[in-house]
Amino acid sequence: MPIAVDIDVMLAKRKMSVGELAERVGITPANLAVLKNGRAKAVRFATLAALCGALECQPGDLLRWEARGAEDTEGG
C-alpha cells in the first residue's frame, strides 16, 4: 500500500507506549496495532484527530504517501 503509517515514530518521540496511546484515544490496543502496522483499510477522521491530539502532532506526522515501484503498478 502506498500509504505508510508512522505512529511508531511518534510514539518513540513522545516516549509513549501503544497501550497508553490506545487508552488516550479510546480504541483497543489491537485496533491501534492494526493501524500502526499498516494493515488498516481506513481510518476515521475522528480517530486521526484523537491520535494527533494525544501525540501533539499533525496528520502528516502519522501518514505519508510512498511512490510504488513499477512492479507494483502492473496487475496488482
Confidence category of residue 69, pLDDT binned at 50, 70, 90: low
Res 12 pLDDT > 70: yes
Grid coordinates belonging to 49 = 484527530
Res 72 pLDDT > 90: no
Res 52 pLDDT > 50: yes
* The pLDDT of residue 68: 78
- Tell me the H-state helices in 1-76: 7-14, 18-25, 29-36, 45-55, 59-62, 70-73
Q: Where are the domains of the chain?
A: 3-64
Architecture of the domain defined by 3-64: Orthogonal Bundle (1.10)
Res 38 pLDDT > 70: yes
* The pLDDT of residue 1: 65
